[in-house]
A and B are shown apart, each in its own frame.
Chain A
Amino acid sequence: MNPFTTEIQHIWNLDNYRTIFESGAYRTIALRTIGIAAAATIADALLAFPLAYFMARIAGGRSRTFLFVAVLLPLWSSYLIRVYIWRLILSHDGVLNWSLGKIGLPAANIGYSNWAVWLIFTYVWLPFMVLPVYGALERIPESYVEASRDLGARGFATFRRVVLPLALPGVVAGSIFTFSLTLGDYVTPLLAGGSSSQFIGNVVYDSVGISNNVPFAAAFAAIPLAVMGVYLLIARKLGAFEAM
């Protein structure tokens, strides 16, 4: 990039990567993105596991179909709109603060912050976690559970030693979606984040849309690609691909 004409010079070098690694600000943004992606993934796993367990092993045919539709239809309503609704809920005079006020709690001003970004990512990607976990749980043969009980294992021991290890690849498979979708996103931080909620996606978005520095954007976009590459390798080791 020529600083004077702002025209892009086509020279092969690693300067763009160097800028990213040497600048503290960009490092913070990369770490924040990965950190929030991980936090949203964990929250999704915690929310989704009992739900998927109920769907796969307790609910009957009709209620299972109902739950299936109930979990997946929100995925198809506009993503942008779902982010926007949460902005309304979390805003200063939104539903959250109103309900907190009603039960006599102080207002939680988490609108436009990293908390909001984390909560919204957890919300929008939740169905992506439920699906593979459900799939993994559904495939566990009932006979394994019976065998475990016959061998004297109590309910919780069966869960911990039989069901959980068999369901884990499903959780890892779901985490691939939640993790990679968060890494590549810029709309949620843009709409619901605060001044210190910049994500990798936002830097890419600004570099292309405002400063027109496509080479730098490309270098920064290589980070999510590299992270996902490593993540997929680990996931394969854990057997997540068979679980999807």
Chain B
Amino acid sequence: MASVAYNVIKFLRGSTTSRDESTAALAQRVTRRSSGMSELARTLGSQEGLCILDLGATSPSNIRYFTEHGHKSYSEDVLLASLDPGLVIEDEQGNRILDEKRFLAENLVYPAAHFDVVFCWNMADYLDESLVKPVVARLWSSLKPGGMLLAFFHTRDAGADAPCHRYHILNNETLELCPIVAHPEAGRGPGPTRTNFRLQRVFNNRHIENLFRDFASIKFFLARDNVREVLVVR
């Protein structure tokens, strides 16, 4: 799996254009205040030795933030892992789908009740439909009782072309957003070839409540940039 991921990573990075794309991405960085992050920061600042899982693209800023606060940081890019061509199978009707069993066998493999905090960022909006519920179920079992999960969801007003971002934590309440630029020919598993991570769907409040129905509590924060922040507690 690692070698496949490595090839995917090399493919996504491209060759000569990756530097230009990175430069362009740097220019598009924006910052935003996050109410969910602000609330989580109180927990992160009041305790030490927490286990934190960051499911976004590798972020030096986030690892630094977590380790500065005395926590153990885990990083795993679930969206990137979902691009593995080896996950594509055909169902009984001949439709191309992603093999969720194989995906969960190779990703998010952690002991039960291991994490205190999970940062999903906007993963669910861009993850293949077949993987969303299984991934949330796996995260539920990986979280400790009382553990918290922060996720962002676009509202319908964000539009179908809302860019997929990587999130860097700048401080207790401010995030920096950087568009993720994939190789133009990067495939998206069973779907058609896409030029980038595309918004797969828009969750409304009821969808989100259903998605996290196994969790003990859920709290919504509506932001100005057509993003709904959701903080759930197992």
A and B pair up: no
Q: Which residues of B contact A (CB under 8 A)?
A: none
